[in-house]
Amino acid sequence: DQQVKQNSPSLSVQEGRISILNCDYTNSMFDYFLWYKKYPAEGPTFLISISSIKDKNEDGRFTVFLNKSAKHLSLHIVPSQPGDSAVYFCAAYGGATNKLIFGTGTLLAVQP
Amino acid sequence: EAGVAQSPRYKIIEKRQSVAFWCNPISGHATLYWYQQILGQGPKLLIQFQNNGVVDDSQLPKDRFSAERLKGVDSTLKIQPAKLEDSAVYLCASSLGFQASSYEQYFGPGTRLTVT
C-alpha cells in the first residue's frame, strides 16, 4: 500500500520557468511533510518541510504548499535552474508509523 | 561538519553469499537509520536505532538481515545469505534525536549492492 504517491515519474522544464512537483498521500494522520533532492550516486538531501498546521512554507526559490483536505502537497521551484535537475522525493511523517514514508520520486530535468 | 559516511560504495556478490555495510553518522546524532532503495522506488526504512537501542525493525527481513550499533555510534548492516531481490542501494541516515525537530534526516551516499 503506497501511502505517499508521486504520480509523475519525470518532469522537464525550461530554465527560468516554474517547476511544480506534486505529491499525494492517503494517511490523514501524517502531520509533517518533507521534500528531499537526490543527485546520482549521492544520498538524498533535505530541501524543505512543512507542518500540517501550515499551508505554505517558503525558502528562497522553493515553496511547498499543503492542501490537507485534498491530501496533496506540491513543491514549486521558481525560477528553475539547470542545477535543480535531480530526483525529488516527497516524504511524510506521523500517525502510527512513526517513520518517514517516501514517495517514488520525480526526475526533474531543467533544460538550459 | 562531516556528513554521514558509508562504505563500501559499491559491492557485487553472488546469491547466497554474505555482505556487510558500514555507516558512521554525523557526530552527536543519536538516531541512525538504514534504508533500502530499490530502483524506481523511494527509500524504505529497514531499521532505526536510538543510540544503541533498536526503535523500529518491523520491515527488516530478520531471517537474513541483521544490524547493530555498538556504543551508539557506528553501525553495520549485514545480509546473509543474499538473494537476487536484495539488489538495491542501502542508505544510512542520521538525525539529532527522535523528537519532532529531528524529522530532518541526513543521508550518506549509499552502498549500491548487486546480487548476481
pLDDT in tens, A72-98: 999 999 999 999 999 999 999 876 767
- Once rounded to an integer, what is the mean pLDDT over residues B70-82? 93
Q: How far is CA B1 from CA A41, B4, B12, B22, B101, in A?
A: 20, 10, 31, 19, 19
Judged by CB atoms closer than 8 Å, whether chains meet at A43 and B107 is answered as yes
Q: Which of A31, A54, A100 to mutate to test the interface with B (most CBs of B within 10 A)?
A: A100
Judged by CB atoms closer than 8 Å, whether chains meet at A44 and B91 is answered as yes
Measure the CA–CA gap between A21 and A28, rounded to whole angstroms.
20
* 24-43 of A, contacting B, C-beta below 8 A: 32, 34, 36, 41-43
Task: Using an 8 Å CB-CB cutoff, list chain A residues near B107.
Answer: 36, 43-45
For B104, the closest of A34, A43, A98 (CB atoms) is A34
Judged by CB atoms closer than 8 Å, whether chains meet at B56 and A103 is answered as no
- Once rounded to an integer, what is the mean pLDDT over residues A19-40? 94
pLDDT, tens digit (0-9, with 9 covering 90-100), for B80-102: 999 999 999 999 999 987 654 45
pLDDT at B98: 61
- Asked which of A36-40, B1-5, B54-58, B107-111 is least confident by mean pLDDT, the reply is B1-5
Question: A-B interface: how many C-beta pairs under 8 angstroms?
Answer: 47
- Contact of A46 with B104, CB cutoff 8 Å: yes
* 78-97 of B, contacting A, C-beta below 8 A: 91, 93
Task: Using an 8 Å CB-CB cutoff, list chain A residues near B110.
Answer: 42-43
Q: Which residues pair with B67 in a beta bridge?
A: B77
- Once rounded to an integer, what is the mean pLDDT over residues A14-23? 98
Q: Where are the beta strands (DSSP E) in chain B?
A: 5-7, 10-13, 19-24, 31-37, 44-50, 53-56, 65-68, 75-79, 88-95, 106-107, 111-115
C-alpha cell belonging to residue A79: 525560477
**Which residues lie closer than 8 Å to A2 by C-beta, 6 or more apart?**
A26, A103, A104
pLDDT at B1: 63
pLDDT at A37: 97
Mean pLDDT (chain B, rounded): 92
Spatial CA neighbour of B59 closest among B75, B77, B74, B73: B77
Question: Can you give the C-alpha Rg of chain B in angstroms?
Answer: 13
Q: Where are the beta strands (DSSP E) in chain A?
A: 4-5, 10-14, 19-25, 30-38, 45-51, 56-59, 62-67, 72-77, 86-94, 101-102, 106-111
pLDDT at B96: 85
Judged by CB atoms closer than 8 Å, whether chains meet at B109 and A42 is answered as yes
Q: Rounded to a whole number, what is the distance in Å from the CA of A103 to chain B's nearest CA?
A: 5
C-alpha cell belonging to residue B14: 553472488
pLDDT at B2: 80
